[in-house]
A and B are shown apart, each in its own frame.
Chain A
Amino acid sequence: MTKINFLKPDKSNLNTFLYLGSFLFFISVLDVLLNSFFSLNITSFLPGFLSYLLPLILGFIGLYFIRIELSGIKQLDLLNKHINTNNFNAVLSLLIIFIILKSIPPILSWFFVDASFAGDSKDVCTGSGACWTYIKVWMRRFMYGMYPNGEQWRINLSFIALALLGSVGYFATEKFKKYLTLYYVVIYPFIAFLFIFFFISGGPVFFDFSYGIIAAIISIIIGFFIPNKFRFYYFLIVPLALYILLKYFIFYEELIELGKLDGLNWVETGAWGGLSLTFIISFFCLIFCFPIGMAFALGRRSGFPLIRYISIGFIEFWRGVPLITVLFMSAVMFPMFLPADFFIDKLVRCIIAISLFEAAYVAEVIRGGLQALPRGQYEAAKSLGMGYWRMHLFVILPQALKLVIPGIANTFLALVKDTPLIFVVGLLEIVGMLNLAKTNPEWLGFAMEGYVFAAIIFWIICYAMSKYSYNLEQKYKTDR
């Protein structure tokens, strides 16, 4: 056996170093493991300071010993390459391993082991862990706000219907693919609006909605028997005519009577809240801010100075002020400029304010895409005899939007994350509801559980969105 130089691990004594190093590393991890999971301190015989640092020192020496270049063992080389390249990295790796080991038991016990799930009153929450009973009891409020318990099926039904209608794109056959853009840009938002306005808001107007649905269903069924040639005109005229016919001439009185019996109750927007309100606001703001932003992006590059300066002014103004003051303005200042008998709903004002605010950011993102396109694209389109609109619709925007998918996704994410700010105008979505629940005298002291719950929900939504945008980006990536 050759002489071993412990300061210089080398390949000739590979096994010795490997066993010794692994053993020391193992001891150091075991020490921390025992300490954190069973609160045992196996090095308590040492002075406090040394006992505290011992795992780090042992682990460091252990990693030093097994740092042998080109050892020939595949796993060891991989380990060295990834976490053990030099002394500094070894210390950092050890620290991170220790932090993870140390933080697992408290987190686990808070979330699951000591947490209480059962029961429906505060009395069951005696352990040191989280009180998920609180979330369970308040679940309806967190999801639906002050929306009456008996009416919540309306929100569920609308959301399920909208989700199903939204997934149409995945099932569309080749024949209908070309209409998808039209469907998603115009028809779908319109249906969503009808659902939200008539169904979730409710009231006697619901019967307008039901007429509309009946008219639509009847006209679609008849539509199948109409020859192709006339179909366009048929769908332009008949549904509307049928709707008017139903509403004003056929069994109007009877339905009013029926409506008085068991129509949908009107629920004012102030009572909406919770996660469903987050979804409603994000949905409409997403839909509105995109076309507005696109218009201002084009306006900023327009040849007319007036349009250009208006666009620049709009964009820079909205980008310069915080959203909270914009909402303040919509709540306090905006009604003063309106005639006294004119009233716009709080929620609508909020949606307008957030849409305009985010539109400015969308405009800047799209402008980035427009600028990134080579001049040749514009010139080629013009030389083909395309006008301004055709050039932008068919050549420029498709390419520019493809380029800025990540930027737009970021703006949309920011929008979703900004929705809690509507507490300024007194609308309570999930974070606002949490703050309300926290001050309930029967449920004091569970702020942590509430915020963790909301954080998990938002994290899932935002993470899913960012992953989806990444997929889109990969899908539309074209090598240029």
Chain B
Amino acid sequence: MESRGIDFGYGFLSQESSFDVQFSLIEYDGSHSYFRAYLVGLLNTILVSVIGIILATILGVLVGVARLSPNYLINKFAAFYVEFFRNIPLLLQIFFWYFAALRALPLPQDAEPMFGISFLTIKGLFVPAFIWQNFNIFFYSILAAIIAIVVIRVHAKKLQETQGKQTPVLLISIGLILILPLLSFLIGGVRLSFEVPVLKQLATTSFIYEGGVSLPPELIALALSLSLYTATFIAECVRAGIQGVGKGQKEAAASIGLTPNQVLKLVVMPQALRIIIPPTTNQYLNLTKNSSLAAAIAYPDLVLVFAGTALMQTGKAIEIVSITMFTYLSLSISISLLMNWYNKKIAITEK
């Protein structure tokens, strides 16, 4: 290494980065340090992973359940979806959405408003921003509602175990989570208004929306393809999990007089979850790692910002690549620790 005239060190992290990033969650421009650029990339990676995980889970569970539907059409439709999206490379899907599908969207000045307030254009999705007054009171009210729900659930479980009384926990929970924030609006002085994106002319033919929240097309393409791709794997996990619960379990539950809903909630789901969680964790990890493909469509994630631009500028290949790899390792390990904890919580407690 010395023979090539490379000096090793992490001092560059505090130097001025002097490059700009298109999309960042925290305040950032060229005058900030490389470390801040690293944070920008990391946050963008986490953002797209979280969006992807949420969407993929919802879609995956729906498709997985649909795969078990007795309805022939739904069953085949779900199977078609799974076979179709699973067998096409993710990178190709990202390119497809970004370069082919999203490029077919209208220009900002031609865009039709969706629900009157949002605009989906070639330059991204523009949605209204929430402007809060006294947001902290609203936040506390939601926190209070959650705490109250937890307390009630614990109490209800105790009642069920000691006296066999059943409390309508779900209704009470929904009521609490609706009523307490509503009270904060009525009494607490919380106000909510929207900042609607407005079309603005930059030059004779160049338009852009100002105000509100804008999601860049890179983020949309990436989140869409990641969730569509990963959902197929999650769907298969869900299907395997539900099929893995023995028929005898359901029949036994029905024969002691549980209603179909109770069978699902008290017998099938707890057992199915135990089968579903470990492989689904793997899929979450894969999704997080796959989000690094963002570099291919110039979404400013960790790989593009740090292992791309910063590396080109500083030439500190070893330091930067090792930091990037270490970051992904820590992300992976933290997700798997979290899911292991959840898995342990729902696992059978053998005596």
A binds B: yes
Give the B-binding residues of A (Cβ under 8 A): 81-83, 85, 89, 92-93, 96-97, 317, 319-325, 328-329, 332-333, 336-337, 340, 413, 416-421, 423-424, 431, 434-435, 438, 447-448, 451-452, 454-455, 458-459, 462-463, 466
Question: A16 to B67, alpha carbons, bound, how many Å?
Answer: 35
CB distance from B85 to the nearest CB of A (A): 10
Q: Are A320 and B293 in contact (CB under 8 A)?
A: no
Q: Are B318 and A336 in contact (CB under 8 A)?
A: yes
Q: Interface with A: B72-80, B265-273, B337-345, which one? A: B72-80
Q: Can you give 7 A-B contacts (C-beta < 8 A)?
A: A93-B73, A325-B303, A325-B325, A416-B89, A424-B295, A431-B91, A431-B92
Contacts of A89 in B (CB 8 A): 69-71, 74
Q: Are A421 and B99 in contact (CB under 8 A)?
A: no
CB distance from B282 to the nearest CB of A (A): 9
CB distance from A331 to the nearest CB of B (A): 9
Contact with A along B89-106 (1 / 0, CB 8 A): 111110110011101000
Q: A333-B318, A336-B4, A420-B91 are in contact. Are A321 and B289 (CB under 8 A)?
A: yes
Specify which of B87, B91, B292, B329 is in contact with A463 (CB 8 Å cutoff). B87
State how many residues of chain B have any CB contact under 8 Å with chain A: 47
Contacts of B83 in A (CB 8 A): 463
Contacts of A451 in B (CB 8 A): 92, 95-96, 99-100
Q: Are B311 and A332 in contact (CB under 8 A)?
A: yes
Contacts of B89 in A (CB 8 A): 416-420, 431, 458
Specify which of A93, A328, A438, A458 is in contact with B88 (CB 8 Å cutoff). A458
Specify which of A82, A325, A431, A448 is in contact with B100 (CB 8 Å cutoff). A448
Enumerate the 5 nearest inter-chain pairs by beta-carbon distance, A residue then B residue, closest first. A462-B87, A322-B289, A82-B72, A320-B329, A322-B292
Query: Most chain-A CB neighbours within 10 Å: which of B91, B101, B322?
Result: B91
Question: A320 to B290, alpha carbons, bound, how many Å?
Answer: 11
Give A424's nearest chain B residue, CB to CB: B295
Q: Are A329 and B92 in contact (CB under 8 A)?
A: no
Q: Are B92 and A96 in contact (CB under 8 A)?
A: no
Q: Are A322 and B290 in contact (CB under 8 A)?
A: yes
Q: A320-B333, A417-B89, A421-B293 are in contact. Are A336 and B317 (CB under 8 A)?
A: yes
Question: A319 to B99, alpha carbons, bound, how many Å?
Answer: 30
Contacts of B317 in A (CB 8 A): 332-333, 336
Give B295's nearest chain A residue, CB to CB: A324
B6 on the interface (CB 8 Å rule)? Answer: yes
Give A324's nearest chain B residue, CB to CB: B292
B194 on the interface (CB 8 Å rule)? Answer: no
Q: Are A85 and B1 in contact (CB under 8 A)?
A: no
B173 on the interface (CB 8 Å rule)? Answer: no
Q: Are A317 and B329 in contact (CB under 8 A)?
A: yes
Q: Are B88 and A462 in contact (CB under 8 A)?
A: yes
Contacts of B101 in A (CB 8 A): 448
CB distance from B91 to the nearest CB of A (A): 4
Question: A452 to B332, alpha carbons, bound, how many Å?
Answer: 33
Specify which of A329, A431, A463 is in contact with B321 (CB 8 Å cutoff). A329
B84 on the interface (CB 8 Å rule)? Answer: yes
CB distance from B107 to the nearest CB of A (A): 15
Query: Most chain-B CB neighbours within 10 Å: which of A336, A337, A419, A447?
Result: A447
Q: Are B332 and A320 in contact (CB under 8 A)?
A: yes
Question: A322 to B87, alpha carbons, bound, how many Å?
Answer: 20
Contacts of B87 in A (CB 8 A): 413, 417, 458-459, 462-463, 466
Query: Most chain-B CB neighbours within 10 Å: which of A96, A325, A413, A416?
Result: A325
Q: Are B321 and A85 in contact (CB under 8 A)?
A: no
B40 on the interface (CB 8 Å rule)? Answer: no
CB distance from B39 to the nearest CB of A (A): 18
Contacts of A328 in B (CB 8 A): 303, 307, 321, 324
Q: Are B77 and A96 in contact (CB under 8 A)?
A: yes
Question: A69 to B231, alpha carbons, bound, how many Å?
Answer: 36
B252 on the interface (CB 8 Å rule)? Answer: no
CB distance from B310 to the nearest CB of A (A): 12
Q: Are A96 and B328 in contact (CB under 8 A)?
A: no
CB distance from B348 to the nearest CB of A (A): 18
Query: Most chain-A CB neighbours within 10 Å: which of B77, B92, B100?
Result: B92
Known A-B contacts: A325-B307, A431-B95. Give 17 more (CB < 8 A): A83-B73, A85-B71, A89-B71, A92-B71, A322-B290, A322-B292, A324-B292, A325-B292, A325-B321, A325-B328, A328-B307, A447-B103, A451-B95, A451-B99, A451-B100, A455-B93, A462-B88
